[in-house]
Structures are given as C-alpha cells and as structure tokens.
Amino acid sequence: MENSTQAPVLVPAGEDRFGEQRGLGVSSLRFKMSSAESSDLFVVQNEFHRPGGPARHLHYSQDEWFYAVEGEFAMEVGEERFTMRAGDSVFAPRNVPHVWACTSSTGGRMLVTFAPAGQMEAFFREVTKANAMPPQDPALWRAHGMELLGPPLPLATD
C-alpha cells in the first residue's frame, strides 16, 4: 500500500470542499472530493430545491455513480428506466446515454461520483456561474468530455 502525502480532509455536512456556493437553478452543488485530491475521483452533492435535472448526455471517459440520499428521482441509463429513492444507487457506465431528474415536489439530495475525474470539476465550475442548468450547447459539453444528446426528462405537470 502506498503512503499518501495528502492530508485527510473533512468536509462537514452541508458544506462545499472549498466553502463556495454553486447553483444549477433547480439545485445547489457542493464539491465533496475535488479532482485536486484525486485525479481518479470527483464527488459532488446535488441538493434539489424543486423538480428538474440535466439534459440527456454521455461521458466519453467517466463512469458515473448516483446515490439517492433523500427524495425521489427518475433515472434513465441506456434503455433502462429506474425510480431512485433514498438509499438506492445507479451506475451509469462511460459512453452510455443517461438522464435524470428529481421528481419530488419537496426536492431531494443525491451524491454523484465521476471516475476518473476528467473535466467534470471544470465543467461544474463553469456552468454554475449562471445559477442555471447547463446550457444545451454541444460545444461546451464536448469541451468537457461529454456528448449532449437531448433535452432533460419531461416532468409531470400538476
């Protein structure tokens, strides 16, 4: 086992690794493990204030793992459809289209990991400047190692 020169880092509940605020319109994003600590892993907590989610996309080089902490989420990975509830997790392999949305009217929280980290931290630093879901700009997504494939999941209207 290798000895690490990195010191352990505690990121308290509800806080961001760098103490920064990041918004995606329907949710806030907190970095829990930065790619600065490990090029192999990037972890975020996505806390939804209302229903919604990102556009359908795929990652060229990142596997993505989702863990529902609270709330309910609709998830599609390839041709498979899932309803995630607290305690459920779903793996989305690289090069497989996926999309998800928080469907709970009261919001929800999920942990999302990217392995390897790739350009995901840079992507979220860029898109959270506008406090809106990432724009459907194919060039922006490609520049960060992803392919934009379609719109967000439609949400049921009341």
**In this predicted structure, what is the pLDDT of residue 5?**
58
150 token code pair: 């379609």
In 3D, which of 110, 80, 99 has the Cα closest to residue 146?
99
**In this predicted structure, what is the pLDDT of residue 80?**
97
Q: What is the pLDDT of residues 135-148, one digit of tens each?
A: 889 999 999 999 99
pLDDT over 70 at 3, yes or no: no
In 3D, which of 46, 58, 57, 55 has the Cα closest to residue 113?
46
Place 9 in a pLDDT band, splitting at 50, 70 and 90: confident
**In this predicted structure, what is the pLDDT of residue 7?**
79
Model pTM above 0.85 = yes
Q: What is the pLDDT of residues 47-85, one digit of tens each?
A: 999 999 999 999 999 999 999 999 999 999 999 999 999
CATH number of 27-141: 2.170.8.10, 3.30.420.480, 3.30.30.10, 2.60.120.10? 2.60.120.10
**In this predicted structure, what is the pLDDT of residue 141?**
96
Mean pLDDT of 101-128: 96
Average pLDDT, whole number, for the chain? 92
Q: Where are the beta strands (DSSP E) in 2-88?
A: 27-33, 42-48, 55-59, 63-70, 72-77, 80-85
**In this predicted structure, what is the pLDDT of residue 41?**
92
